[in-house]
């Protein structure tokens, strides 16, 4: 039997639909939980422990982490560069002495003596000091933090000392100035070229 509804009659809501229990709706955002599933706590929880770690008998796989050993140098390349630096420092000292004693005719004497400083002796001393500086820098790379900075400060202060020492002698002022200038040139060569040799000796 078909019920006829009068369209002119006032509409009344059918409250029977509200009394029916709502059908559960599936959450399409996540798959159904497996047996033993435990939801993860909120992000940032310091007590969060992954479910896999909490399972009995779980043992994490070992991971090989790189060991930081600091900057390394190719010793062969570094010492070749250091020998070249010593050669440059020695030649700079020899040229300074030649200009002073041969061109300007200024006698450069040893401290507190009247003996003239031999050109070859000064060049050998400059080369030896350069090799000692390279040895110090090699040790700083292995043990010191920021070796280039500490090496720069150390050699800079020693160069300043080498520039000031001639003025503590009894030699003439011109001789003091020439020796101080030559020491300054040699010190700058050693201070700048040893780190260059080290930078070119780093493995790429």
Q: So what's the pLDDT on residue 175?
A: 86
Angle at the Cα of 100 (from 96 to 105), degrees rounded to 5? 160
Short-list 108, 92, 89, CA closest to 100: 108
How many Å from the N-terminal Cα to the C-terminal Cα in the chain?
93
Report the alpha-carbon distance of residue 192 to residue 84 in Å, rounded: 13
Radius of gyration of the chain (CA): 41
Over its length of 204 residues, how does the chain's per-residue pLDDT go in tens digits?
555 555 565 555 555 555 555 555 555 555 555 555 566 555 555 555 555 555 565 566 665 554 444 457 778 888 999 999 999 999 999 999 999 888 888 888 766 666 667 888 899 999 999 999 999 999 898 888 888 899 999 999 999 999 999 898 888 888 889 999 999 999 999 999 999 888 877 766
**Would you say 61 and 53 are in contact if contact means Cβ atoms under 8 Å apart?**
no
Q: Indicate the helix (H) or strand (E) that contains 7.
A: none
**Would you say 24 and 17 are in contact if contact means Cβ atoms under 8 Å apart?**
no
On the CB side of 97, CA atoms within 13 Å amount to 21
């Amino acid at each position: 039997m078909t019920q006829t509804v009068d369209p002119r009659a006032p509409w009344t809501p059918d409250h029977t639909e509200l009394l029916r229990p709502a059908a559960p709706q599936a959450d399409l955002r996540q798959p159904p939980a497996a047996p033993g599933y435990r939801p993860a706590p909120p992000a940032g929880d310091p007590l969060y422990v992954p479910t896999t770690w909490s399972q009995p008998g779980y043992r994490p796989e070992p991971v090989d982490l790189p060991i930081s050993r600091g900057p390394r140098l190719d010793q062969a390349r570094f010492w070749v560069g250091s020998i070249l630096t010593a050669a440059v420092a020695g030649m700079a000292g020899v040229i300074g002495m030649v200009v002073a004693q041969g061109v300007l005719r200024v006698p450069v004497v040893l401290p507190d003596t009247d003996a003239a400083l031999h050109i070859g002796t000064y060049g050998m001393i400059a080369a030896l000091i350069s090799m000692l500086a390279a040895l110090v820098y090699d040790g700083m790379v292995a043990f010191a933090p920021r070796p280039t900075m500490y090496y720069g400060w150390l050699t800079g202060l020693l160069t300043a000392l080498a520039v000031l020492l001639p003025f503590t002698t009894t030699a003439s002022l011109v001789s003091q100035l020439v020796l101080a200038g030559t020491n300054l040139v040699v010190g700058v060569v050693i201070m700048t070229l040893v780190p260059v040799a080290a930078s070119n000796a780093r493995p790429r």
